[in-house]
Amino acid sequence: MKQDKLWAAFQKSGKVEDYLRYCGIDIYETGSNALLEKPIQEEPNETDNRRTHHSGK
């Protein structure tokens, strides 16, 4: 029954926060958004699109 109420709240508001609550993710539960605070780690050469054999001319 709770899922029905959460879905109805999402349909009424259209807010992403309400949809996440329906999915079982409450972004306000801990008082901070842990998903956004996590640093994005990228591979050291991920943005390096150069070919190793290219002469640079």
Give the range among 11-15, 20-24, 38-42 with minimum mean pLDDT: 38-42
Mean pLDDT, residues 17-31: 82
Using CA atoms, how far apart are residues 12 and 30, in angstroms rounded to an integer? 25
- Asked if pLDDT for residue 46 goes beyond 60, the answer is no
> In 3-state terms, what secondary structure has residue 23?
helix
- Asked if pLDDT for residue 16 goes beyond 70, the answer is yes
Phi-psi region of 25 (alpha: psi -120 to 50; beta: other; left: phi over 0): beta
Residue entry with tokens 């958004």: 33
